[in-house]
Structure 1
């Protein structure tokens, strides 16, 4: 639970813009990311990462700030060519683990923005 002095002090639109600018720098060059504020939760973001090449997967994540520094990352969906795929395969799980690491790295790089 967030204590009052460790609350997220940035509005969700500015936070989404900061993520949109930072995330491409921590991802593979060929991957694409789209970051949007979560309309239901002001301390959460929706992130879609699209892989390049023949695989053409889309990974949807929800990133929720637990406090001004820590982010909880949840996989929402994985799609390929507009259809859902089995998220339990080793290939998908390895990609998910990799992207979760990148999302945490992005959050770390934004500490100066989120932690005042």
Structure 2
């Protein structure tokens, strides 16, 4: 892979594309909010609210390593506005599920990022 393979899309446009596409790969009842990362022009922040009574929220940072590959980092998990231990098995399963959906979204957005 050459060093010239870099993300060239405007960050605001990238965040808008994620905001439009991510709900199509998530569970219908989950809600997602995508914003540009103010500290890293190659990243977007994703805030996901789970459906139902669990009241979990997940925050992820998605960083483009190049125009195709993303690195997904879990930033925070909360339940009813309280930080929770993300090592809990249920939370780990949800995190894995969301990371998979985030990678699906990145695949779907390749048409605008490469």
| TM-score when normalising by structure 1 | 0.96
Q: Name the CA distance, whole Å, in 2 between partners of 1:38 and 1:45.
A: 5
Per-residue Cα deviation, 1:62-82 (whole angstroms, up to 9, x for no partner): 000000000000000000111
Q: Which residue of 1 aligns with 2:103?
A: 104
Paired positions, count: 114
Change beyond 3 A, Cα 1:63–1:83: same
Report the RMSD for the aligned CA atoms in angstroms: 1.2
Q: How far does residue 86 in structure 1 lie from its aligned partner after superposition?
A: 1.0
Per-residue Cα deviation, 1:6-54 (whole angstroms, up to 9, x for no partner): 1101011000000000000000000000000001110001000100100
Alignment of 1:30-41 (within 5 A): 30-41=29-40
Q: How far does residue 2 in structure 1 lie from its aligned partner after superposition?
A: 7.3
Q: Unpaired segments of 5 or more residues in structure 2?
A: none
SS in 1 for 2:77: strand
Change beyond 3 A, Cα 1:16–1:2: farther
